[in-house]
């Protein structure tokens, strides 16, 4: 019988975290342990590593996924283990899972099979408390903002124009749209409000892009939370609470160190979703890994059109470093889906569908190459893949003249990714000519059009009246020169999740823009993308249990 991820994880023997830290050149004095197998590294540790050379950066991204995901984290972890097996000092930099999907549809998010980060239960649950700190910091701003209005409103805030929402790290559709402050004058000011999921919050983005406590505080102060009656933006700095909010985040900001099943050191830190936020782990973790290792393998959430684009056009500007090579993860199953096969047919061989669905992978390869970056495709093998399917996909990739590798990291750990690792090392040795998709100085609509037409393959962009007014307003406020963070479905290049493959000629509708001045980008909401997911009819939570000794079951 095939073991589940949690069974494999629980059967693994972990090294104490001081030993893992030593591998990364970090002494026991420079970590703060959270139990025996998790630690935060101190700012001292980060400072001490700065004398090292900067290593090479591998970005792992993917085609548009199926609802179950294509194993991007799994390939990221397996590739890191494989590079270490080949004798390259390697670190992995991943995002922290959100409890919402863990309790909802997805189960865990710490890799799978023999390519996992451990302790997987802790990582998937409260871990070191970072997401809770972010939730609390976000909601403390809300409480202090509403209290300001309630206590006399010296800043003249228009309660109808509060744009700062509360958050929970759960899938809770009931809180998407609420009216708060009801019942009595002592209960605050009645107004419309709503909750996002924590990983969609600007605090999460700020947290992931901050380079120090001081930088975090500066970013927090810039966050726009509301407008006055005369439409002047009101910031966290205007409320004079950036100090308190930074206090709530100062420990969370230290990167979390854990290990893979094979003992490769991994930072798991920061976890914005890529469909509604920028989708990459923290800049502090990535820059620290680059100093601690010769190779750093990191992932960007969902497909290369979402997390990948945002990694390249948003995160690299803060990182001061662009990838040396990019892995695009694809699966035969997902390509068949892009070729028109329904869910219940994905286990059956279907060469024609695979060949049709290849269009999706093909466009992602072109996109990444358009940035001037070398690409290696990782075919993440599933037991249902047939030899004929693998051959057909190999022929297509060979014809396209792109490097590729069949990986079996779920089943074999690093040993299943050695060929991929070798091809990646070769790819990083190529001369690079990186260039951004758009200039920051372009107008907001131009930047959005660049993403839509050059990355998504759409033909045009439409803006709602609200979005048009916002663009004019943002220009007046001097916010035009920021990168764009698209909020879009992960399932399609378009804003319609049912348009699979490589659709063309579609229009993307921009419903609304949200200024995220702390993060330093403008979010563009497309179609009906939601910033608070719901739970399915049978949530994963129904299967979870724990015995009297604390052993968990039912966490995938």
Positions 2 through 61 that interact with its own copies (CB under 8 A): 32-36, 40, 43
The number of C-alpha atoms within 13 Å of 452 and in the hemisphere containing its C-beta is 26
Q: Which of residues 59-118 bind its own copies (CB under 8 A)?
A: 99, 103
User: Shortest approach of its own copies to residue 334 CB, angstroms?
Assistant: 26
Phi, psi torsion values for 393, nearest 5 degrees: -65, -40
Q: Of the candidates 22, 68, 86, 144, which one interacts with its own copies according to CB under 8 A? A: 144
Could you give the 3-state DSSP secondary structure of residue 404?
strand
Pattern 315-354, binding to its own copies, x per CB under 8 A? ----------------------------------------
Q: Please, what is the angle between helix 72-85 and helix 418-428, to 10°?
A: 80
In whole angstroms, how close is the CB of 23 to its own copies at the nearest point? 20
By annotation, the residues acting in catalysis are 72, 74, 95, 106, 274, 302, 382, 410
Please tell me whether 388 is known to bind a ligand. Answer: no
Tell me: does residue 146 bind its own copies (CB under 8 A).
yes
* Residues whose CB falls within 8 Å of the CB of residue 7, separated by 6 or more in sequence, listed in order: none
Nearer to its own copies, 122 or 473 (CB): 122
Nearer to its own copies, 179 or 443 (CB): 179
Q: Please select the residue that binds its own copies; options are 61, 64, 74, 142, rule is CB under 8 A.
A: 142
Closest by Cα among 525, 485, 491, 115 to 303? 491
Interacting residues with its own copies between 486 and 545 (CB under 8 A): 534-537, 539, 541-545
Min dist. Cβ of residue 515 to its own copies (A):
23
* 72 annotated ligand-binding residue: yes
> Does 66 carry a binding-site annotation?
yes
Q: Which of residues 246-275 bind its own copies (CB under 8 A)?
A: 246-248, 250-251
Residue 9 has which token pair?
């994880």
In angstroms, give the least distance from the CB of 157 to its own copies. Answer: 13
Tell how strand 375-380 and strand 325-330 pair up.
Answer: parallel
Q: 67 labelled as ligand-binding? A: yes
User: Which member of 169, 299, 309, 313 binds its own copies (CB under 8 A)?
Assistant: 169
Whether the Cβ atoms of residue 256 and residue 114 lie closer than 8 Å to each other: no
> Is residue 126 part of the contact set for its own copies (CB under 8 A)?
yes
- Between residues 283 and 448, which has the closer beta carbon with respect to its own copies? 283
Q: At its nearest, how many Å lie between its own copies and the CB of residue 514?
A: 18
> Is residue 387 packed enough to be buried (19+ CB in 10 Å), middle (13-18) or exposed (0-12)?
exposed
DSSP for 73-133, please give it.
Answer: HHHHHHHHHHHHHTT--EEEEEPPPPHHHHHTTS---SEETTEEEESHHHHHTTTTSHHHH
Query: If binding is defined by CB under 8 A, does position 383 make contact with its own copies?
Result: no
Binding part of the chain for its own copies, among 178-186, 417-425, 456-464, 500-508 by CB under 8 A, reads 178-186
Q: Which residue has the tokens 């820059």?
A: 287
Q: Is 466 in the site for its own copies (CB under 8 A)?
A: no
CB atoms within 10 A of CB 19: 13
Tell whether 459 is in a known binding site: no
Token pair 């993860």: residue: 329
Give the residue among 317, 365, 324 at the shortest CA–CA distance from 482: 317
Nearer to its own copies, 56 or 269 (CB): 269
Helix (H) or strand (E) holding 336: helix 332-338
Q: 163: helix, coil or strand? A: coil
Task: In angstroms, give the least distance from the CB of 268 to its own copies.
Answer: 16
Q: Minimum CB separation from its own copies for residue 197, in Å? A: 11
Which is closer to its own copies, CB of 246 or CB of 288?
A: 246
Q: Is 70 annotated for ligand binding?
A: yes
The piece of 141-149, 227-235, 355-363, 498-506 that touches its own copies (CB under 8 A) is 141-149
Question: Which CB atom, from 42 or from 394, has the smaller least distance to its own copies?
Answer: 42
Residues from 180 through 239 that contact its own copies (CB under 8 A)? 180-184, 186-189, 193, 212-214, 217
Q: Which is nearer to its own copies, 166 or 447 (CB)?
A: 166
Among 120, 199, 241, 517, binds its own copies (CB under 8 A): 241
**Helix (H, G, I), strand (E, B), or coil: what is residue 358?**
helix
Pull the structure tokens for residue 157. 């805030």
Alpha helices in 444-510 (DSSP H): 444-450, 465-476
What is the C-alpha to C-alpha distance for residues 400 and 379, in angstroms, rounded to an integer? 15
139 is an interface residue for its own copies by CB under 8 A: yes
Q: Cβ neighbours of residue 420 under 8 Å, at least 6 residues apart?
A: 75, 78, 79, 82, 327, 376, 378, 405, 407
Sign of the CA dihedral 43, 48, 50, 53?
Answer: negative
Among 243, 320, 345, 372, binds its own copies (CB under 8 A): 243
Q: Which is nearer to its own copies, 327 or 487 (CB)?
A: 487
Which parts are annotated binding residues for ATP?
66-73
Which parts are annotated binding residues?
66-73
């Amino acid at each position: 019988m095939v073991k589940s991820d949690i069974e494999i994880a629980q059967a693994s023997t972990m090294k104490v975290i001081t030993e893992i830290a030593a591998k990364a050149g970090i002494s026991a004095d420079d970590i703060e342990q959270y139990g025996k197998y998790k630690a935060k590294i101190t700012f001292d540790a980060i400072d001490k590593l700065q004398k090292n050379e900067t290593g090479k950066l591998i970005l792992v991204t993917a085609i548009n996924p199926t609802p179950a995901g294509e194993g991007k984290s799994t390939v990221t972890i397996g590739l890191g283990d494989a590079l270490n097996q080949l004798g390259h000092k390697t670190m992995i930099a991943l995002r922290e899972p959100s409890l919402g999907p863990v309790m909802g549809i997805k189960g865990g998010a710490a890799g799978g099979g023999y390519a996992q980060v451990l302790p997987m239960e802790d990582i998937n649950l409260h871990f070191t408390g970072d997401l809770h700190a972010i939730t609390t910091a976000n909601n403390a701003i809300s409480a202090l903002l509403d209290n300001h209005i309630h206590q006399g409103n010296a800043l003249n805030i228009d309660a109808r124009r509060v744009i700062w929402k509360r958050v929970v790290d759960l899938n809770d559709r009931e809180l998407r749209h609420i009216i708060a402050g009801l019942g009595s004058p002592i209960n605050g000011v009645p107004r419309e409000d709503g909750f996002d999921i924590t990983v969609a919050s600007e605090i999460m983005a700020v947290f992931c892009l901050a380079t120090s406590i001081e930088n975090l505080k500066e970013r927090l102060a810039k966050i726009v939370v509301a407008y006055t009656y005369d439409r002047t933006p009101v910031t966290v700095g205007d409320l004079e609470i950036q100090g308190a909010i930074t206090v709530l985040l100062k420990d969370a900001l230290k990167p979390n160190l854990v290990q893979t099943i094979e003992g490769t050191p991994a930072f798991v830190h920061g976890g914005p979703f890529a469909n509604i936020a920028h989708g990459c782990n923290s800049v502090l973790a990535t820059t620290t890994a680059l100093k601690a290792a010769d190779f750093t393998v990191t992932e960007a959430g969902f497909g290369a059109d979402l997390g990948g684009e945002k990694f390249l056009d948003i995160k690299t500007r803060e990182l001061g470093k662009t990838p040396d090579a990019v892995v695009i993860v694809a699966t035969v199953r997902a390509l068949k889906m892009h070729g028109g096969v329904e869910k219940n047919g994905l286990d059956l061989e279907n060469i024609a569908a695979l060949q049709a669905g290849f269009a999706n992978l093909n466009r992602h390869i072109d996109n990444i190459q358009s940035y001037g970056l070398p690409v290696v495709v990782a075919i993440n093998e599933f037991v249902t893949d047939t030899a004929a399917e693998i051959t057909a996909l190999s022929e297509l990739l060979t014809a396209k003249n792109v490097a590729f590798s069949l990986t079996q990291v779920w089943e074999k750990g690093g040993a299943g990714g050695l060929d991929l690792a070798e091809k990646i090392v070769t790819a990083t040795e190529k001369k690079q000519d990186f260039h951004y998709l758009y200039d920051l100085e372009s107008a907001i609509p131009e930047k959005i059009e660049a993403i839509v037409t050059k990355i998504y393959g759409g033909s045009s962009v439409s803006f709602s009246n609200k979005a048009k007014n916002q663009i004019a307003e943002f220009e007046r406020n001097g916010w035009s020169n920021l990168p764009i963070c698209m909020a879009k479905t992960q399932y399609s290049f378009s804003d319609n999740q049912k348009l699979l493959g490589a659709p063309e000629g579609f229009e993307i509708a921009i419903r609304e823009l949200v200024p995220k001045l702390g993060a330093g980008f403008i979010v563009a909401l497309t179609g009906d993308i939601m910033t608070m997911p719901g739970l399915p009819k049978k949530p994963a939570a129904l299967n979870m249990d724990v015995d009297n000794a604390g052993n968990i079951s039912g966490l995938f």
